[in-house]
Amino acid sequence: MSKAYQVTEHESFGRFDFVKSLGIFGGISILLVVLSLIYLSVKGITYGIDFKGGTEMQVKFNQNIHIDEVRKSVENMNLGEVGVQGFGEGNEYIIRFQGEKGATDKETNEKLNRAIAQVRDKVMTQFASAAPDIRRVDTVGPQVGAELKRNGFLAVFYCLLVILIYVAIRFDYKYSPGAVACLFHDAVITLAIFVFVGKEVNVPILAAILSLIGFSLNDTIVVFDRIRETEHLYKEKSSKFIINRAINDMLGRTLITSGTVFTASLCLYIFANGVVADIAFAICIGIFFGTYSSIYVAAPMILLMEKLNLTAKKV
């Protein structure tokens, strides 16, 4: 064994006693997840047109137009649910509407095309002095939207399931619940905050949540790997000592990596706009809670699984 890894009799577990506060932060995590689930159940998720179907029209003017003026111009056109969102620097907006449903898909498409033409004509006529420019028009049918939503959430479910199996094979059964708990914790809280600030959930945002699940998993795996190495090194030490030592050893690496990604995402959020800013916002939240959960959610779950295992053996 090299000198760097020699174990002394009275060796310290490190600078910070993380295990001492695991109960407090574990309780906070449970509370945050419960509150997030309650909020999502009561408030509901605001889906973008990717998931609920409809049309999204991006319009840019050559001068600032107040959002209320744009909203009033399209609200009384019998287009169903209508929404207007600012985009850019006060002269660009996204107009969303669902249109009327027909008896057949063909009739629905015809009504939708007429609605798009009506909105375009209304904007071009009412704001002619501001030289409106229709930058893009995206349309998703309701059936396609429902299928995308179903497939998107199935992707998250299968992702968590595969991770559970992978961690159980790669490490040990006692690590799997901690990994899945971390990812569920991060995804639910991020989604709740995203909905709380009035953002829409669409395909790019779901992709961002899957990305932060991957980042959080990587961070958690690093913690688990260090715990396993420390466990082999300090075979006579308690689980609390091993977890404290492992977290203290990799704390610097975790903070530097997470801080770098968080800073880059924050810059994107500040300087970008539209869907890029929304993705960056989701990743910023996920990075913060992912770093937190890799320490204060993963570790308590390992201790809990060990206690359950000991209880089962006694029975």
Q: Looking at residue 38, what is its pLDDT?
A: 95
CA distances from 11 to 195, 219, 245 (A): 47, 26, 10
Task: Delimit the domains of the chain by residue range.
Answer: 14-47+145-314, 54-140
Positive or negative, the Cα torsion across 258, 208, 271, 197?
A: negative
| 3-state SS class at 140 | strand
Instruction: Using alpha carbons, select from 46, 79, 50 the residue that is nearest to residue 143.
Output: 50
Cα(191)–Cα(59) distance, integer angstroms: 28
pTM, two decimals, is 0.72
The 10s digit of each residue's pLDDT in 147-192 is 777 887 788 788 778 877 877 777 767 777 778 888 888 889 998 9
Eight-state DSSP code of residue 130: G
pLDDT the model gives residue 310: 58
In tens, the pLDDT along 85-125 reads 777 666 788 888 776 665 566 776 777 778 888 888 888 88
pLDDT of residue 8: 46
In terms of Cα–Cα distance, which of 287, 303, 310 is closest to 247? Answer: 303
Yes or no: is domain 14-47+145-314 CATH 3.30.70.1290?
Answer: no
Structure tokens at 286: 């996920």
| Rounded Cα distance, 268 and 270, in Å | 6
pLDDT score, position 192: 92
Question: Which residues, including other chains, have CB under 8 Å from residue 205's CB and lie 6 or more apart?
Answer: 48, 194, 199, 275, 278, 279, 282
Mean pLDDT, rounded, for 234-251: 81
What CATH number is given for 54-140 in this structure?
3.30.70.3400
User: Quick check: do 14-47+145-314 and 54-140 share a fold?
Assistant: no
